[in-house]
Amino acid sequence: MSNHRTISKKGIIATALALILLLSGCAAGQNAGSKKAIKGGTLTYGRPASVTSFDLFKEITSNNAFAIDKVFEPLVSFDKNGKVINWLAKSYKVSSDGLTYTFVLRDGLKFSNGKPVTARDAAFSIKHHLSAGGPLAIEAKVDSVIANNKQTLVIKLKKPFTPFLAQLANFSNGIIPYNFDGKSEKQFFKKPIGTGPFAVEKWNPAGDLTFKKNTYYWQKGKPYIDKLVFKTISDDTQAVNQLKSGEVDAIESVPLENAKALSQGSDTKIQTDGSWVTEQVFFNTLDKNLSDVHVRRALALAINRDGLTKAVTFGYAKTAHSLLPTTITYNSDASVKALNYNVAAAKKELAKSTHPKGFTTTLLIASGNSAVKQEAQIIQAAGKAIGIHIKIQSVELATFRERFFAYNYSMMINSGQADFPDADSILAFQTDPKGFSKSYWTHYTNNTVTKLLYAGEQTADGPKRAKIYAQMQQILANEVPYIPLYYPDIVIGHRSSVKGLVVLPNGSVRFEDAYVK
Amino acid sequence: MLLLLVSLAVFAPLISRYQPAAQNLADILRPSSANHWLGTDQLGRDLFTRLIYAARTDLRIMILAEILPFCTGIFLGMLAGYYGKWIDALVTLMTNTLIAFPFYLIVIVVAFASGAGERGIYITFALVGWIVFARVVKGLSASLRKQEWVASAKVLGLPDSRILLFHILPNVLPQAIVVLMTDMVGLLVAIVTLGYLGIGIAPPTPDWGTMISEGQTFIYSKWWLSTIPGFAVVYTGIALSLIGDGLADLWRRK
């Protein structure tokens, strides 16, 4: 008995000690757990429009771009501050004459079907993009693209092209398998295979999209989530409702008037940062009224941009003066002489035009975005003050795009956005009448501007390039093919339980570090 | 109830010192105050002013859009009921065909064809609004036709037009007016719905539907922006229904 008792005492002490150890171990485990990502689960992301295509060489709009960049990845990419970083390439070298670019691929890279990625795949992708052209064509004059060995790719240019590296970071320069993995191009993009963190599992081009985790992803152990669902919610107020109710984990388009409330919500948060976007009013310069520069200048002078920005963006934007947002190097927001709000000057300007007594025109907007609706009414009132009667035409997003792609509009509200971190991205897209976008479908043509654009592309970074872009932005501010309204911040709304979202300045979100607690 | 609303609508410019479309971007989303009784909206426009001007817009459209279908409906209904036979068959065919299409589908088609706005509402209602009147009036006139006094009037040699105008019409009119009141509620809701969907009244013209839709974004912080115009719709609906009921009771007692 006594013996038994002692044993039992020892036993109690031992058990107690073990318990203490175990508990402390648990506590340590918990601490580590709170910092560690949780693996598995599904993250549902609400977006305003469906993904209609994965063809990275032909697509341009953000609804597709931000899905394409989950599947395909470029050699170099950019971080959340817009700095170019190594991505599929572990290193790169640029020759001193700016003509030879040598990329070395990461070791052990694989596509989502498990096949290795070689320099031959990369060469095929770049060459195919060169021949395909498309809306985000490689503008540099490329001499040759050669796979030196399995991991080394050498691109030679005929002429230096300063934004080349930044442009390669664009989603449109993603790497695809050689020869579309033996399939036809059309077939391939229906079931795309890339190196990105996710692969397509289920896709309805008129509805939702489900990605599954790419188990061969080169960032070891990532992505943490098993599935990523893009849920289409075309109305931004609806999106907020669904976020609040927990039906979605995050939303891409937050009506800014709700941003503050979401940031202070008990189970919702926002992530916000400066963007590469400039919200603008665009003029169709082929339109009989708006081809007149005085008319455009009059409208620019009639709009109270400061008031509009304050009323519409609730502190999540800066009033714009120049075309390039302040997040992009060579913006001239502080130095440009913009046409600021002055109704008397606007009337004088209109008097100089071919329509001194005003006219009636239309303003095309995409429905479903509450800020744009408000902007349209402010612009309508501004026009009325100087005798320009503006009818607002609100159409569904897909129709909106079809209309302006066909120049079937007079004025529209839209945003210009850089796809890669260089001034050339927005400037080439919005000023080159020969480019795919024909000066962002304004058809604005000015030879001096075009010459400056090409000069800027070939001038090495430095004060000379800065001067060229300042000059360009001043001409654009004077001739107003578009009125820059404001530079919006990116605001992504998410549940408090969602961690690790990386918001990029182009508005896309990286999900490889994301998890749901 | 309706009188209050109509007088607010009619005398809107005298009651409010603001213009319904006048924006003040420095003074947006204010709560109720002495200067702005119901506060201001997202563009700094006075909410009360917009509310009563919207009553003007919506009530005006409601009444104007009812005139044509009301007259056509009664006319066709009487003809069909009184003469029967092929006229009846034709009117029935037309009503049955049009009734097969949902109202909003027709509005959307018309809005696409003629552009969104007031015109679309008038056209659609002229196309389909008469059906409800025609059906009621047809039934009534058919039963009246069989009554003795109509038969005797015929025997006396009175022309059909006289019988229809002076004998049938006064007897079917009260019922048609009762129907008109309920129909107006439906039409008002339709106007507001279309405004809400963005295919009705175009901005900056104030309308309850667009007010509800624009205020919706602020529902969590400024709930009154949508709620007050919503209440106005309900108020008008109840007022019209009460009148309809009252009239029906009155004529029934007679």
Q: What is the DSSP string of A55-122?
A: -TTT--SHHHHHHHHHH---SEEE-TT--EEESSEEEEEE-TTS-EEEEEEPTT-B-TTSPBP-HHHH
Distance CA A45, CA A61 (A): 18
Residue with tokens 């034709």: B90
Per DSSP, B202 falls in state P
Tell me which residue of A194, A220, A218 sits closest to A121, measured CA to CA. A194
pLDDT for B116:
67
Question: Considering only residues 334 to 373 of chain A, which have any Cβ-Cβ distance to chain B shorter than 8 Å?
Answer: 367, 370, 373
Q: Are B193 and B102 in contact (CB under 8 A)?
A: no
β partners of residue A147: A153
CATH number (domain holding residue A262) = 3.40.190.10
Distance CA A239, CA A228 (A): 17
Same domain, A325 and A445: yes
Please compute, for residue B114, the number of CA atoms within 13 A of its CA located in the half-sphere on the CB side.
14
A10, part of any domain:
no
Q: For residue range B127-182, list pLDDT tens digits in order.
A: 888 999 999 999 888 888 888 888 888 888 888 888 888 888 888 888 899 999 98
Count how many domains chain A has. 3
Distance CA A485, CA A306 (A): 8
Tell me which residue of A444, A282, A260, A277 sits closest to A363, measured CA to CA. A282
How would you classify the pairing of strands A359-366 and A388-395?
Answer: parallel
- Preceding omega of B204 cis (within 30 degrees of 0): yes
Q: Crossing angle, helix B169-197 and helix B118-128, to 10 degrees?
A: 140
Same domain, A44 and A89: no
β partners of residue B171: none
pLDDT for A193:
97
Residue A262 belongs to domain spanning: 32-72+196-268+491-517
A-chain CB neighbours of B23 within 8 Å are 377-378, 381
A-chain CB neighbours of B194 within 8 Å are none
Same domain, A167 and A235: no
Burial letters for A45-69: b for 16+ Cβ neighbours within 10 Å, e otherwise? Answer: bbbbbbbebbbbbbbbebbbbbbbb
B-chain CB neighbours of A258 within 8 Å are 217, 220-221
Same domain, A226 and A167: no
DSSP string, A13-69: HHHHHHHHHHHHHHHHHHHHHHHSPPP--EEEEEESS------TTT--SHHHHHHHH
Residue to substitute from A361, A374, A379, A394, interface B, most B β-carbons within 10 A: A374
Reduce the DSSP state of residue A212 to 3 states and report it. strand
A311–B221: do the CB atoms touch at under 8 Å?
A: no
B-chain CB neighbours of A310 within 8 Å are 25-26
Find the angle CA(B73)-CA(B78)-CA(B82) to the nearest 5 degrees: 155
pLDDT for A6:
40
Tell me the CA distances in angstroms from B118 to A158, B201, B202, B207, one per residue in order: 61, 6, 8, 11
Determine the residue type at B136: V
Q: Are A300 and A483 in contact (CB under 8 A)?
A: yes
* Percentage of residues of chain B with pLDDT beyond 70: 99
Listed range (A200-214, A288-302, B10-24, B105-119) with the worst mean pLDDT: B105-119
pLDDT for B170:
86
Distance CA B233, CA B226 (A): 11
Mean pLDDT for all residues in chain B: 88
Residue A146 contacts B where some CB pair is shorter than 8 Å: no
Determine the residue type at A382: A
What tokens appear for A442 in the block? Answer: 């304004």
Residue with tokens 């949902």: B102
A25, part of any domain:
no
Residue A479 contacts B where some CB pair is shorter than 8 Å: no
Residue B68 contacts A where some CB pair is shorter than 8 Å: no
pLDDT for B160:
83
Distance CA B108, CA B112 (A): 6
Residue with tokens 């927005």: A426
Q: Are A193 and A178 in contact (CB under 8 A)?
A: no
Cα B107 versus chain centre, distance: 14
For chain A (517 residues), the mean pLDDT of every run of 10, in chain order, is: 42 49 41 66 95 94 94 96 94 95 97 97 97 91 96 96 96 97 96 97 96 96 97 91 96 90 93 94 96 97 96 94 95 95 97 96 90 94 96 88 94 94 95 91 96 95 96 97 96 96 94 94
CATH number (domain holding residue A337) = 3.10.105.10
B217–A307: do the CB atoms touch at under 8 Å?
A: no
Cα A184 versus chain centre, distance: 29
Same domain, A179 and A303: no
A19, part of any domain:
no
Phi first, then psi: what are they for A451, rounded to 5°? Answer: -60, -45
Q: Considering A134, A161, A183, which residue would you say is the last residue of a domain?
A: A183
Question: Considering only residues 281 to 320 of chain A, which have any Cβ-Cβ distance to chain B shorter than 8 Å?
Answer: 304, 307-308, 310-311
A56, part of any domain:
yes
Residue A14 contacts B where some CB pair is shorter than 8 Å: no
Phi first, then psi: what are they for A364, rounded to 5°? Answer: -90, 130
Q: Are B189 and B233 in contact (CB under 8 A)?
A: yes
Same domain, A258 and A337: no
* ipTM greater than 0.95: no
Same domain, A383 and A508: no
DSSP string, A291-323: TSHHHHHHHHHH--HHHHHHHHHTTSEEE--SS
All structural domains of chain B, each given as residue ranges with its CATH number in brackets, are 47-253 (1.10.3720.10)
A261–B42: do the CB atoms touch at under 8 Å?
A: no
Contacts of A365 (CB under 8 A, 6+ apart): A372, A373, A375, A376, A392, A393, A394, A395, A400, A412, A413
Residue B108 contacts A where some CB pair is shorter than 8 Å: no
Distance CA A409, CA A80 (A): 35
A14, part of any domain:
no
Q: Are B181 and B241 in contact (CB under 8 A)?
A: yes
**From the CA of B28, how many Å to the nearest CA of chain A?**
7
Residue to substitute from B24, B30, B43, B213, interface A, most A β-carbons within 10 A: B43
What tokens appear for A56 in the block? Answer: 């990275």
A-chain CB neighbours of B21 within 8 Å are 381
B-chain CB neighbours of A485 within 8 Å are none
* Percentage of residues of chain B with pLDDT beyond 90: 34
Q: Are A123 and A129 in contact (CB under 8 A)?
A: no
Contacts of A211 (CB under 8 A, 6+ apart): A70, A71, A198, A199, A200, A201, A227, A228, A229, A230
**From the CA of A262, how many Å to the nearest CA of chain B?**
10
Q: Are A407 and A285 in contact (CB under 8 A)?
A: no
Name the residue facing A391 among B202, B218, B220 (closest C-beta): B202
Question: Considering only residues 372 to 391 of chain A, which have any Cβ-Cβ distance to chain B shorter than 8 Å?
Answer: 373-374, 376-378, 380-381, 391
Same domain, A113 and A162: yes
Reduce the DSSP state of residue A488 to 3 states and report it. strand
Name the residue facing B198 among A237, A310, A394 (closest C-beta): A394
B-chain CB neighbours of A381 within 8 Å are 21, 23, 43, 204
pLDDT for A356:
96
**From the CA of A32, how many Å to the nearest CA of chain B?**
38
**From the CA of B39, how many Å to the nearest CA of chain A?**
15
CA torsion sign for A271, A272, A273, A275 is positive
Tell me which residue of A168, A195, A172 sits closest to A86, measured CA to CA. A168
A59, part of any domain:
yes
Same domain, A355 and A472: yes
Residue with tokens 């209609």: A52
Name the residue facing B26 among A255, A258, A307 (closest C-beta): A307
Same domain, A418 and A300: yes
Same domain, A319 and A368: yes
Contacts of B142 (CB under 8 A, 6+ apart): B80, B81, B82, B84, B88
Contacts of A96 (CB under 8 A, 6+ apart): none
A377–B216: do the CB atoms touch at under 8 Å?
A: no
What tokens appear for A130 in the block? Answer: 């060169």
Name the residue facing B221 among A237, A261, A370 (closest C-beta): A261
A1, part of any domain:
no
A189, part of any domain:
no
pLDDT reading at B225 higher than 50: yes
Same domain, A400 and A453: yes
β partners of residue A277: A417
Residue A255 contacts B where some CB pair is shorter than 8 Å: yes
pLDDT for A174:
97
